[in-house]
A and B are shown apart, each in its own frame.
Chain A
Amino acid sequence: EVQLEESGGGLVQPGGSLRLSCAASGFSFSDYAMSWVRQAPGKGLEWVAHITSSGDTTYYADSVKGRFTISRDNSQNTLHLQMNSLRAEDTAGFLCAKHRGAGAYYAMDVWGHGTTVTVSS
């Protein structure tokens, strides 16, 4: 069964850091691009970051550029999101998603259920 499972969410103070992980199973992880998407309370889905299948190219939403870093370990079938300088507006459920192909052009066909990040003092 194709699965994505996020972990690493929690409560963090403004200015703090958090590292999210997404464990993939049931498919050839290294063949597919991956993204992080978030949903703040009462809001719609917001794309956060993308990484190509090989990991050599990354893209970021303007709201997180310079603060968040997406990475992947294809040997461990794991996707990461390092989040620094967190702000209250980063409070959201963070979901990882698999693309149907090697790059961002492809639709996201497998999603995790998400991990919650709360930024508050």
Chain B
Amino acid sequence: SYVLAQTPSVSAAPGQTARITCGGHRIGTISVNWYQRKPGQAPVLLIYSDRNRPSGIPERFSGSNSGDTATLTISEVEAGDEADYLCQVWDTSSAHVIFGGGTKLTV
């Protein structure tokens, strides 16, 4: 079934911009969702359908998707952004929900 590839870890200094990528074959043709997960907490939906933010998610979080790469961009990174970030798609061919392996952001 469809595979999503994420870099295991990314680091950014406070105030910088962090970019977290999610690779997949022609991922630009399907809808990508992004989640944040902190230890001991429930996952939080950050971005749905490539670039849409649910209410309550700061504008610092943005998404894009083209070609073989979807990207989550976190602007003006804060210490509180330190977490695991996961991408997710619905693979219609296998009828499976697919998660990427996750990227740990260190601030």
Give the size of the chain A interface in residues (CB under 8 angstroms).
23
**Which residue in chain B gives the minimum CB-CB distance to A108?**
B45
Contact with A along B18-61 (1 / 0, CB 8 A): 00000000000001010101000111110011000010000000
Bound-state CA distance A90–B31 (Å) is 29
Residues of B within 8 A of A1 (CB): none
Is B97's CB within 8 Å of the partner chain A?
A: yes
Of the residues A47, A104, A114, contact of B42 by C-beta under 8 Å: A114
Residues of A within 8 A of B98 (CB): 47
Bound-state CA distance A112–B43 (Å) is 8
The chain B residues found within 8 Å of chain A, CB to CB, are 1, 31, 33, 35, 37, 41-45, 48-49, 54, 84, 86, 88, 90, 95-102
A-B residue pairs in contact (CB < 8 Å), sample of 24: A37-B99, A44-B99, A44-B100, A44-B102, A45-B102, A46-B99, A47-B97, A47-B98, A50-B97, A61-B96, A62-B96, A95-B42, A100-B48, A104-B90, A104-B97, A105-B31, A106-B48, A107-B33, A108-B33, A108-B35, A108-B88, A111-B44, A113-B41, A113-B42
